[in-house]
């Protein structure tokens, strides 16, 4: 090989590496200043592609607590992984993710093929691994922001099914699970029957007007877990009130809500706040005790009596 | 990554590498492939350029591939063998083995190795050609020995052969398992152009 040949080869390699590295730019946007949300923190959103499964990539949205309008708060923050429902993009749950981040949690939402998490069941677990590596890497925007203690997995609808799989796949990384208008996959019955958990670590929330995944179905499928899973029901809430910009076609598959979207979401967030408080400090509150549940949240028995 | 998965990934790679290194004898060609060819492929997942050299019904190639999404630069090398059926070479069955060392630049710098096997059957028509095949591919990050994947794909394509180039529109779909969880569906759509540099 001539000298010129070697130089050309080096240039091609260098340009290739620069091209591929340039594609990994972080895009951080400050959404809410501290004090503008119920939590003590402001919130910034980061959209980033992570390398997963050796040479594939998954884009994820990350919601981070901030302490000024321009800077991220000092971590580490407990990790909450949220999985979006079928045919719903992660950003359609930004209202929920920003609320959770304002409470001092780092929220990760991975994207999936065709917005169907069932086609990419490993994306959340792979992104969490990549986020953990980023948190331990000097110079990374996420450096020091992720608490390595076991995380909280949540999902809405189909997202809850996949969140359960992630929780089962990575028991060392996930301790808590919240199924929001969702249920476990009966195909996971074998694994679910083997995994044990403490009271309140697995929790289900349903909507009394949800006709996509009605409370009766949720109650029935929760029996797959090897332990008592409390089921809290948001009175008057339907399925797609939790999704920003839901379509008329989606609404046609759902029941009619009896409360406005704002109240529906307020009730759900109040319940999530309780679960997050319990997650942060199990001694602080007993989420299995119905008496501590917020107003507008009822038990399955109360729901059936009201029918 | 469990030991069983690691052993499976390593076994798949070892098998592929052994297949590449195994000696073979070249029989007389029924229809010769071009002696030298340059191939450029642009797909939704990668950009690749290879130079291929053919002897009889065997072809060996080497090239450079870039996967911008994952920040990966790889140097694939491969060998393929073609069997031709029909008096005019209407059907071409091809089997290939590829090995690709990879530099991963996204997030952190890592080195990985992938190895793959592929089989496809091409129907060569007067105006259009068709392709249907299967591929399997394993990859392992060498620097950590933790991250790995296995990919199983179905490949389909339509091609047009002109006097001075071959154009193929190909789609690949399948599933990637591995990583930390359950894997994901994989799809890719690409256009490949092959320029024959000489012909016997």
Quick check: A167 contacting B, CB < 8 Å?
Answer: no
pTM: 0.86
CB contact under 8 A, A20 and B187: no
Q: Give the N- to C-terminal CA distance of chain B in Å, as an integer.
A: 50
pLDDT over threshold 70, residue B64: yes
Categorize the per-residue pLDDT at A8 as very low, low, confident or very high, splitting at 50, 70 and 90.
low
What percentage of chain A exceeds 90 in pLDDT? 90
> In chain A, what residues touch B112 (CB-CB under 8 Å)?
54-55
Residues of chain A in contact with residue B172, where contact means CB-CB under 8 angstroms, are none
Of the two residues A23 and B192, the one the predictor is more confident about is B192
Q: Measure in Å the smallest separation between the Cα of A228 and chain B Cα atoms.
A: 26
Higher model confidence: residue A118 or residue A25? A118
Chain B nearest-CA distance from A211, in A, is 29
* Least CB–CB distance from A121: residue in B68, B102, B182: B182
User: What's the rounded mean pLDDT across residues A37-53?
Assistant: 95
| ipTM higher than the 0.90 cut | no
Contact A123 B184 (CB under 8 A): yes
Query: Is the pLDDT reported for residue A1 higher than 80?
Result: no
Cβ pair B73:A20 closer than 8 A? yes
Contact of A49 with chain B, judged by CB distance below 8 Å, is answered with yes
Dist. CA A190–CA B6, nearest whole Å: 24
B76/B10 Cα distance (integer angstroms): 18
The predicted structure's pLDDT at residue A281: 96
Q: According to the model, what pLDDT value does residue A158 have? A: 97
The pLDDT value recorded for residue B143 is 87
Q: Does B68 touch chain A (CB under 8 A)?
A: yes
Neighbours of A122 (CB within 10 A): 27
Helix (H, G, I), strand (E, B) or coil at B131: strand
B65 touches A at CB < 8 Å = no
Q: What is the pLDDT of residues A139-181, one digit of tens each?
A: 999 999 999 999 999 999 999 999 999 999 999 999 999 999 9
Residue-wise pLDDT tens digits, B14-52: 655 554 444 333 333 334 456 899 999 999 999 999 999
**Which of A121, A90, A49, A165 minimizes the C-alpha distance to B179?**
A121
């Amino acid at each position: 090989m001539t000298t010129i040949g070697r130089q050309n080869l080096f240039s091609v390699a260098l340009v290739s590496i620069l091209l591929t590295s340039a594609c990994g730019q972080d895009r951080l946007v400050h959404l809410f200043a501290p004090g503008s949300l119920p939590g003590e923190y402001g919130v910034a959103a980061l959209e980033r592609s992570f390398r997963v499964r050796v040479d594939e990539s998954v884009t994820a949205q990350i919601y981070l607590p901030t302490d000024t309008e321009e800077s991220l708060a000092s971590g580490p923050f407990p990790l909450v992984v949220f999985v979006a429902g079928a045919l719903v993009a992660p950003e359609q749950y930004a209202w929920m993710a920003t609320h959770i981040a304002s409470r001092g949690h780092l929220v990760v939402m991975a994207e999936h093929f065709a917005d169907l998490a069932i086609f990419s069941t490993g994306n959340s677990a792979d992104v969490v691994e990549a986020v953990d590596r980023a948190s331990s890497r000097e110079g990374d925007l996420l450096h020091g922001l992720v608490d390595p203690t076991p995380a909280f997995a949540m999902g809405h609808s189909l997202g809850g099914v996949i969140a359960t799989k992630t929780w089962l796949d990575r028991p060392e990384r996930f301790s808590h699970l919240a199924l929001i208008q969702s249920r476990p996959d009966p195909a996971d019955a074998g694994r679910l029957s083997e995994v044990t958990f403490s009271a309140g670590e697995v929790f289900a929330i349903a909507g009394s007007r949800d006709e996509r995944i009605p409370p009766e179905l949720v109650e029935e499928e929760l029996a797959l877990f090897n332990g008592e899973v409390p089921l809290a029901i948001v009175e008057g809430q339907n399925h797609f009130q939790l999704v920003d910009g839901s379509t008329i076609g989606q609404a046609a598959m759902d029941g009619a809500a009896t409360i406005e979207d704002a109240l529906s979401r307020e009730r759900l967030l109040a319940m999530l706040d309780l679960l997050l408080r319990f997650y942060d400090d199990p001694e602080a509150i007993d989420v299995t005790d119905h008496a501590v549940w917020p107003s507008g949240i009822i038990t399955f028995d109360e729901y059936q009596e009201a029918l | 990554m469990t030991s069983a998965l690691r052993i499976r990934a390593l076994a798949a790679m070892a098998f592929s590498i052994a297949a590449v290194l195994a000696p073979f004898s070249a029989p007389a060609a029924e229809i010769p492939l071009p002696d030298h060819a340059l191939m450029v492929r642009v797909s939704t997942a990668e950009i690749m350029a290879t130079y291929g050299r053919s002897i009889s019904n065997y072809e060996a190639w080497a090239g450079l591939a870039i996967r911008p999404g994952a920040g990966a630069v790889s140097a694939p090398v491969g060998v393929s063998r073609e069997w031709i059926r029909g008096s005019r070479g209407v059907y071409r069955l091809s089997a290939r083995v590829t090995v690709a060392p990879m530099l991963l630049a996204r997030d952190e710098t890592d080195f990985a190795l992938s190895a793959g096997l592929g089989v496809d059957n091409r129907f060569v028509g007067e105006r259009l050609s068709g392709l249907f095949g299967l591929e399997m591919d394993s990859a392992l990050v060498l620097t950590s020995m933790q991250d790995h994947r296995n990919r199983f794909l179905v490949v389909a394509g339509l091609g047009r052969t002109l006097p001075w180039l071959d154009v193929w529109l190909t789609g690949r779909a399948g599933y990637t398992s591995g990583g930390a969880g359950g894997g994901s569906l994989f799809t890719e759509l690409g256009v490949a152009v092959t320029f024959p540099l000489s012909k016997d």
